[in-house]
Structure 1
Amino acid sequence: MTQASSGAATSQKGFLGWVERTGNKLPDPVFIFFYLIVVLVLISIVASLAGLSAPHPTKTIEGTDDPFIINAVSLLSSENIQRLWVDMPKTFTHFHPLGYVLVVMLGAGVAERTGLFGTAMRAAVRNAPKFLLTPMVALVAMVGNLAADAAYVVLIPLAGVLFAAAGRHPIAGIAAAFAGVSGGFSANLLPGQLDALLFGITEAAAESIVPTWDANIAGNWYFIFTMTLIFLPVIWFVTDKIIEPRMGGYVPQGPAGEMVKDGDKPLSQDQKKGLSHAGIAALLVCAVWVFFTVGPGTPLIDEAARPEARLSPFYKSLVAAFLVLFLAAGWAYGAAAGTVKGHRDIVRMMSEAMADLSYYLVLAFAAAHFVAMFAWSNLGLIFAVQGADAIQASGMPMPITLGMLVILTGVVNIFVGSASAKWALLAPVMIPMLMLLGISPEMTTATYRVGDSATNIITPLMVYFPLILTFCQRWQGNFGLGSLTATMLPYSAFLLVGGLVLVMLWVVLGLPLGPGAALHYTLPPQ
């Protein structure tokens, strides 16, 4: 433990040292939003006095064909001061991501605390053949993002044990799992908590230009599924051909050997029974949702809507679907495995899940007011219109524009680790700007996700970075911060390149992002 502490505290030099020192000087994201609000107020005053304006892209002056002019509004105007203080509860509670995240986490918290997520990940990778161990670890790690913190706490140290038991270097296993969980943060086979979080922010940004735009939590499903298929061979290649050969062989001895013996234990009969019951529960929930969609009355289909909008109720119901799915599967697992004794345990687990979100609630309060005040000032829409005009005038191809957004997000990610905080900063300008250029909010969100994922694994400011370092030091005491960053750099570079190519090809081919989520977007007539 002494070695772990000293390794983590070692000061880095060069670029990594600069990143570490600069990032450590940044305030907490909650206060970043507070400072940004102060700056925003000052900018709104200057913009209002300077008469900054832009033509609205869809509205016209009533009775004429002249465009409606959007003027910058000072946040210290009487109207906006009144809004700030009178509407404060509404501003917070109507922040779109808040409801989405709270609902999904009620179910996911139960699935995590009953042990379902951890046992499912162990079962998925434990018996993998030696030559398939890397891709199995990477795939389960990416899917494990549905389990949020559990993937970091359970799978990553387990990957080290499994690699060591297979006669491979344990740190290579930890690196592969870390690359999958965090580098493949947005890649997955199914939408989940992250989709609820990001699309809530996307909806708030899109509504600044099209008030009727509704988020679809499955709006990136096809994209993140393909992203998983792209990232899986990338992580496999980097682990087996670049990282592990540099590390050489490893023979676990002493305490490390004991970890292999303890960590490679087979699943108990109760755990196997729990997984079986959880699978049955999940299938039943899926069957219920299919029945609601195609059964009598089709409650999740709007038969009176336009053909492209008929499935809108189904898409909107997916947030609730994930709540029921996680809750049912977690409860079924816990009842069979013995981790749930009665309904009071379920209520306790749901309460603990809400307690875990206490910091997020504070962050959401600050982010909600920044996003709302940005909209009140009209600056977001003005910048979006002017930015769209500038891109059109430059003749820059759309794939290049989106590629630049990927790189911008990746750079910002080194300093601001929170996915929701970054997207709350970028979305109010990026979403409307690209909507004006014919790019859907779903495509812009997908592009952001690529940049957000790729550099997670190389910044010491990532909240789990010290924990991963500790996992590594259990196997190699002198493994320091620089060692971990250097190990993860090849993953970051290859994932970034793979993600960039994916985004550009997606635009060129014009593929849909998910069910009911097209690449292109046409502003509705007013």
Structure 2
Amino acid sequence: MASAKNEYRNQNDARQRGWFTRFLDTVEWLGNLLPHPVSLFAIFCLLVIVASGIAGFFGVSVADPRPATYGQDIVVNSLMSGEGLRWIVSNLVTNFTSFPPLGVVLVAILGVGIAERSGMLEAMMRGMVMNASPRMVTVTIVFAGVVSNTASELGYVVLVPLAALIFHSLGRHPLAGLAAAFAGVSAGYSANLFIGTVDPLLSGFTTSAAQLIDPTYEVGPEMNWYFMFISTFLIAVLGWLVTEKIVEPKLGKYNPNDMDPDSDLDQNVSMEGLKPEERKGLIAAGLTFLALIALLAITVVPEWGVLRDPETGGVAGSPFLRGIVVFIFITFAIPGFVYGYVVRTMRNDRDVINAMAASMSSMGLYMVLVFFAAQFVAFFGWTNFGTVLAVNGANILQSINLTGPLVFVFFILMCAFVNLMLGSASAQWAVTAPIFVPMLMIIGYAPELVQAAYRIGDSVTNIITPMMSYFGLILAVAARYKKDIGIGTLISIMLPYTMVFFIGWVILFYVWVFALGMPVGPGAATYYSFEAAQ
């Protein structure tokens, strides 16, 4: 009887794996059809030029819904005209240099680079995970994974292999530890306790998209911080539950014979606790951070604070919020150097300069991507394509009566699906923001809210798409412990995280925003009104 049940279970699992494998193969095939994101934006630029010429020839237009210009026609401008060609030649450079995400991200990455190259961020992560009790190790790993997003790839390179080692050393399945860390780092990508480099990156694209409707609208890097802060704890708890209640029981007891004896992928991952000098460095860096926060508070908290708005005396619209990227730079760079000085990884200005240069050199591909993305966004704006598509899309939503909060479920689902094939957060938002930010503004929702919803969809499917840039690295680490593991097996392990994170995060979004009426960030609006904006 038992053997019959086992045979039935194996046949059922095989059927499920067959369907799931076909689905994954389709996703991978579709993703592989897409060119490199840089090439993709170059192609989009050419398509906008050609399409604007066709639309201009046929006089495509839409009625302007904005009160100040209500009823006037918004006409598609042709880039395949003398005026269009003159505009391209005159603005190609300024489209790039004035693009909002460019400068803010580069400034932020300089500070983060010092903290990363000094070893401070890795020591923080290792200390957090290695000092956790066996009962708290899972939730600590997921939590550390979410926080590690501040330092971009550090979580993938350090935490994921370390988590697998820790689980293995505790007699637990190493792939469960790997899955917990991967879920925190990648599926919880947009959640964080701190404002990191991804915030100015996305807010820059959102600002450019919002200005297609309202030329004065600005979205600061801090505008999703409240929601992303509380999301950190949600993801940590959900990741802990999925790991211990679903993934680890499904994996069962680990068989050491599955380990690849020839692999040396984790030889560079330290299982040692923090050394005395590292502890001293972290204490010194922590005290420095607190001192910087105290100094910053003096400039903002008192009514006479120098970084408050000089006209209104308030924090909203103040130099403090407009210059938040400067404080990201300072609060990473100075504690990072202090840590490096204590542990002797940084001794002088040359070491700091080398760290900043190394971090900047890693941004070469990003700057190439931004050049073409900036042209695409600028072309989209000058031709009025973004506005025309947004107005038509808003009209469709209004005609089917899909203008309430339910619209965000479909929007998040769409972002999650697109993310399966276009894994870059910046590339995806650069394409979708010029359409959906204006569209949802027209039906009454603020760009800050749209961006927060996008970040949910962009995060939860990272762990189940082979298009994600670090997916191959994670698969290689997993193969250290299960030598015959394939893409389908790894994605089947991660799929429960995607499903639970999606449901839980969407519920939190609706409760936080629509039930409790809480803003997604300091000074962030939930609704947008044309009447108030004009």
1:4 matched to which residue of 2?
Answer: none
Deviations 1:264-320 (A, max 9, x none): 21211111111111101211221121122135852211142386x744322112110
1:272 to 269, 279, 282: 279
In 1, Cα distance between equivalents of 2:280 and 2:254? 35
Whether the aligned pair in 2 keeps the contact of 1:165 and 1:260 (CA below 8 Å) is no
1:381 to 387, 410, 417: 387
The offset of 1:191, in angstroms, is 1.7
The offset of 1:210, in angstroms, is 1.1
2:131 matched to which residue of 1?
Answer: 127
In 2, Cα distance between equivalents of 1:376 and 1:172? 50
In 1, Cα distance between equivalents of 2:132 and 2:533? 55
The alignment status of 1:239 with 2:243, answered yes or no, reads: yes
The alignment status of 1:248 with 2:252, answered yes or no, reads: yes
2:7 matched to which residue of 1?
Answer: none
In 2, Cα distance between equivalents of 1:272 and 1:229? 26
The alignment status of 1:474 with 2:461, answered yes or no, reads: no
Whether the aligned pair in 1 keeps the contact of 2:303 and 2:313 (CA below 8 Å) is no
Whether the aligned pair in 2 keeps the contact of 1:438 and 1:520 (CA below 8 Å) is yes
Q: Any unmatched runs of 5+ in structure 2? A: 1-19
2:58 matched to which residue of 1?
Answer: 50
Q: Mean Cα displacement is larger for which, 492-501 or 421-430? A: 492-501
Report the TM-score, using the length of structure 2 for normalisation.
0.91
Whether the aligned pair in 1 keeps the contact of 2:266 and 2:477 (CA below 8 Å) is no
Q: Any unmatched runs of 5+ in structure 1? A: 1-11
- Amino acid of the residue matched to residue 20 of structure 1? E
1:229 matched to which residue of 2?
Answer: 233
The offset of 1:234, in angstroms, is 1.5
- Amino acid of the residue matched to residue 41 of structure 2? F
In 2, Cα distance between equivalents of 1:293 and 1:263? 41
SS at match of 1:131: coil
The alignment status of 1:421 with 2:388, answered yes or no, reads: no
Whether the aligned pair in 1 keeps the contact of 2:131 and 2:273 (CA below 8 Å) is no
2:409 to 403, 406, 426: 403
Deviations 1:130-188 (A, max 9, x none): 12111000011001100111111111111111111222111100100000000000011
Whether the aligned pair in 2 keeps the contact of 1:54 and 1:382 (CA below 8 Å) is yes
Whether the aligned pair in 1 keeps the contact of 2:513 and 2:520 (CA below 8 Å) is no
1:341 matched to which residue of 2?
Answer: 347
Percent identity, please.
Answer: 39
1:87 matched to which residue of 2?
Answer: 91
Report the TM-score, using the length of structure 1 for normalisation.
0.93
In 2, Cα distance between equivalents of 1:518 and 1:326? 28
Whether the aligned pair in 2 keeps the contact of 1:270 and 1:338 (CA below 8 Å) is no
Aligned residues: 510
The alignment status of 1:317 with 2:323, answered yes or no, reads: yes
In 2, Cα distance between equivalents of 1:247 and 1:89? 54
SS at match of 1:24: helix
Q: 1:105-504 maps to which residues of 2 (within 5 A)?
A: 105-250=109-254, 263-294=270-301, 297-305=304-312, 310-504=316-510
> 4+ runs of 1 displaced by more than 4 Å?
251-262
1:38 matched to which residue of 2?
Answer: 46
SS at match of 1:417: coil
Deviations 1:180-211 (A, max 9, x none): 00000001112211111000100111111111
In 1, Cα distance between equivalents of 2:480 and 2:342? 34
SS at match of 2:405: helix
Whether the aligned pair in 1 keeps the contact of 2:42 and 2:372 (CA below 8 Å) is yes
Q: Mean Cα displacement is larger for which, 149-158 or 501-510? A: 501-510
Whether the aligned pair in 2 keeps the contact of 1:511 and 1:518 (CA below 8 Å) is no
The alignment status of 1:22 with 2:26, answered yes or no, reads: no
SS at match of 1:57: coil
SS at match of 1:87: helix
- Amino acid of the residue matched to residue 44 of structure 2? L
Q: Provide the aligned C-alpha RMSD in A.
A: 2.1
In 2, Cα distance between equivalents of 1:414 and 1:136? 27
